[in-house]
Amino acid sequence: MGFQTQEVSITLVTDKTIRELNQQYRGIDSATDVLAFAMQEGDFKEITPDLLGDVIISVETAQRQAEEAGHSLQQELGILLIHGLLHLAGYDHMTDEDAELMQEKEKELWQHIPN
């Protein structure tokens, strides 16, 4: 992804906490699986050049998704972490084209995770 030394904060939370964050920062009153808050965007990105951002993951939602997908919670957390990191790196899935590109990158990065 082109980063040499970047700091990332990873926080595991409950559905209640991620719902509150989703409401506060995105105006969406529901739980979600992962939120990413990039620190390399906006007017103040020069203040912390080594801080890529924060990834917040709901363990409760991850557990449900893991059960639905038929894999482990550990695997689902890895999938969500990669997804969040890609958001911090500037990837998004607002259009079909962007979603396809992000999915390709997720698959590529997953190959580097020992199973």
pLDDT tens by residue, 66-113: 999 999 999 999 999 999 999 998 888 888 998 899 999 999 988 887
Q: Which of 88, 90, 86 is nearest to 110 (CA)?
A: 86
Domain boundaries, given as residue ranges, for the chain: 7-110
User: In this predicted structure, what is the pLDDT of residue 48?
Assistant: 74
Interacting residues of 80 by C-beta distance below 8 A, sequence separation 6+: 33, 34, 57, 62
Specify the pTM. Answer: 0.86
Average pLDDT, stretch 12-27? 97
Average pLDDT of the chain, as a whole number: 90
User: In this predicted structure, what is the pLDDT of residue 50?
Assistant: 79
pLDDT-derived band at 32 (thresholds 50, 70, 90) equals very high
The radius of gyration of the chain from alpha carbons, rounded to an integer in Å, stands at 14
Taking residue 10's Cβ as centre, other Cβ atoms within 10 Å add up to: 13
CATH architecture assigned to 7-110: 3-Layer(aba) Sandwich (3.40)
Q: Which of 37, 111, 101 is nearest to 78 (CA)?
A: 111
